[in-house]
A and B are shown apart, each in its own frame.
Chain A
Amino acid sequence: MAREDEDWRRLYEQDREPDIEDSQAGVIFYNDTVIEHFTNPCNVGEIDDADGFALIGDPSCGDQMKLWIKVEAGHIIDIKFKSFGCPGAIATSSMATTLAMGMHLDDARQLTDDDVVRALGGIPANKQHCSLMGISALQAAIRDYEQRIVQRP
């Protein structure tokens, strides 16, 4: 019946014809950096003993993500995410967590979706909103961490 796994994996190795460029229309498809972060996302997973956690949903499209951080001496020493989302959401979350990894909380709080999109080299116009998910989750996880500190006896 079905062929062996390796058989279809070879298809990833094939040449891709470049999408037809239309300078007027702007970016209409994901660039190679975005596709790389989508096919091999960084920092996927969960942190069992996380210091901060957030669950974020995008009500417009129904996509969802979870993000965990581990904090030590004011720095994010580990960060992980999981996403039920489109390629844009997965790739931007991968980039957002990559940027935030190792950062001091003061710097991480300053990160915006623009930083993520810039680091990826752009994202199609109708996918801009997806880049908010990773950043909102990061900011919410930092707030969650801060609340836990305040509540600590």
Chain B
Amino acid sequence: MNKRTTIYLDHNATTPLCPEAREAMLPFIDGLYGNPSSYHHVGRQARSAVEAARRTIAEIFGCSPAEAVFTAGGTEANNLALRGAAAALKDRGRHIITSAIEHHSVLKTAEALGRDGFDITFLPVDAQGVVAPQAAADAIRPDTILISVMHANNETGAVQPVEVIGGAARQRGIAFHTDAVQAFGKIPQGAVFEYADMVTVTAHKAYGPRGAGALLVRRGTPLVPLMTGGHHEQGLRPGTENVAAIGGFAAAAEQAVAKLASESARIAALRDRFEALLLQAISNIAINSRGAPRVPNTSNVCFAGIESESVLLHLDLLGICASAGSACTTGEPEPSHVLRALGLSSVQAQGAVRFSLGRATTVEQIDTVAAALAGIVKKLREVSSL
């Protein structure tokens, strides 16, 4: 028996904290306890850390610091964008457009708004999991107030044509929001406000801490806060700031941008090697969204005839972490709404496993996981009744 080595291929669920983020956080965990809203010097130390982080985030996205609203993470930012814009714009119209493959924090929020009297259009995707920009344009009505389409899908990695959809929305004077949680740090994003009015990002998918994220809100975008009780964050997000996490977020974001070019090329090569090995070693598999533009780290594989949790448990027993669909769905027996939207049957979707690579992934790990999968799939297919 020897100590287990972990092979972590679940970076779309969360990532380990990078050393730079840890360094930035430590002073605010250990000694600097101030409340950024306090008058005195102890408070001002914390305030200056939050504002420095805000400037860093603003610089990365080409916006002004006042346009960066810190939240507790992606789910909160998505809720603020949808509910906040819907509440601010409800007198102008009640139609909202989103896609069928959004993360639950957008999808379920849109459904909830639908029950509150808004009319929601869920755009379909093609077999590669991509929204057609024309479909988005065609869905626009005189009473459309908001369009929300994610930048990159968390399950398949498919990149959506947000620049085109956002451009069409702006032409018609409609607010456009994009959930960029899975795109951030994986593909270049540039000046997001050229096409979007609101952008969701989160720290922990990019080697920052859990518990900090941001909604970037372009100046002039109508938005009302979800909560009352404070002046914080331009009045859009009351509550004492999570200073350590916000500092860690900014430090991680800087690293993510600095490493983007070299890491995305390296990781894309590993992903391609992984998929080539699987296709060579295992029959009857399909790689979802392989024909779409994808973020470089994500590989979503359907293994025909077997059920994904059985694959995950075998992998886990070997020290290998992967995921079935999205981690948020664990505990729900229904197969992934994303894969169903691609046109997969529920039996096919049940055999899907997501591998998401990251900074620590090596060639040796990829080869080990590919070989392990060949053995696991063979074993499970011998048991399968299909």
B3 CB-CB contact with A under 8 Å: yes
Interface of B is mostly: helix
A15 and B4 form a contact (CB under 8 A): yes
A16 and B317 form a contact (CB under 8 A): yes
Chain B residue contacts of A1, Cβ below 8 A? 277, 280, 367
B384 and A84 form a contact (CB under 8 A): yes
Interface residue from A13, A64, A81, A90 paired with B310 (Cβ < 8 Å): A90
In the assembled complex, the CB of B335 is this many whole angstroms from the nearest CB of chain A, namely: 7
Which residues in window 1-31 of B have CB below 8 A to A? Answer: 1-5
Given A3-B368, A82-B384, A82-B385, do A11 and B1 touch, yes or no (CB 8 Å)? no
Which residues in window 372-386 of B have CB below 8 A to A? Answer: 372, 374-375, 382-386
Interface residue from B277, B319, B374, B385 paired with A84 (Cβ < 8 Å): B385
- The residue of chain B having its C-beta at the shortest distance from the C-beta of A81 within the complex is B385
B261 CB-CB contact with A under 8 Å: no
Chain A residue contacts of B371, Cβ below 8 A? 2-5, 7-8
Interface residue from B1, B307, B331 paired with A13 (Cβ < 8 Å): B1
CA distance A19 to B371 in the complex (A): 26
B346 CB-CB contact with A under 8 Å: yes
B281 CB-CB contact with A under 8 Å: yes
Chain A residue contacts of B335, Cβ below 8 A? 62
B328 CB-CB contact with A under 8 Å: no
B319 and A14 form a contact (CB under 8 A): yes
Number of A residues near B (Cβ < 8 Å) is 39
Which residues in window 9-52 of A have CB below 8 A to B? Answer: 9, 11-17, 30, 35, 38-39, 41, 44
B350 and A30 form a contact (CB under 8 A): no
A2 and B306 form a contact (CB under 8 A): no
Which residues in window 188-227 of B have CB below 8 A to A? Answer: none
B374 and A2 form a contact (CB under 8 A): yes
Size range of the chain B interface in the assembly: 35 or more
A84 and B318 form a contact (CB under 8 A): no
B347 CB-CB contact with A under 8 Å: yes
Contact with A along B344-386 (1 / 0, CB 8 A): 0011001000000000000000011011101100000011111
CA distance A17 to B319 in the complex (A): 10
In the assembled complex, the CB of B7 is this many whole angstroms from the nearest CB of chain A, namely: 9
B309 and A86 form a contact (CB under 8 A): yes
A60 CB-CB contact with B under 8 Å: yes
In the assembled complex, the CB of A78 is this many whole angstroms from the nearest CB of chain B, namely: 17
In the assembled complex, the CB of B199 is this many whole angstroms from the nearest CB of chain A, namely: 35
Chain B residue contacts of A38, Cβ below 8 A? 310, 313
In the assembled complex, the CB of A60 is this many whole angstroms from the nearest CB of chain B, namely: 6
Given A2-B374, A62-B347, do A85 and B310 touch, yes or no (CB 8 Å)? yes
Chain A residue contacts of B382, Cβ below 8 A? 44
Given A2-B367, A84-B385, A90-B383, do A14 and B2 touch, yes or no (CB 8 Å)? yes
Chain A residue contacts of B319, Cβ below 8 A? 11, 14
A66 CB-CB contact with B under 8 Å: yes
B4 and A62 form a contact (CB under 8 A): no
Interface residue from A12, A44, A81, A89 paired with B318 (Cβ < 8 Å): A12
- The residue of chain B having its C-beta at the shortest distance from the C-beta of A94 within the complex is B383
B383 and A9 form a contact (CB under 8 A): no
B314 CB-CB contact with A under 8 Å: yes
B370 and A2 form a contact (CB under 8 A): yes
Q: List 7 A-B contacts (CB under 8 A).
A: A5-B371, A7-B368, A55-B385, A62-B347, A83-B384, A84-B384, A90-B310
Q: A2-B367, A8-B372, A86-B307 are in contact. List 4 more A-B contacts (CB 8 A).
A: A12-B318, A14-B4, A83-B384, A87-B309
Residue positions of A touching B, CB distance < 8 A: 1-5, 7-9, 11-17, 30, 35, 38-39, 41, 44, 55, 60-66, 81-87, 89-90, 126
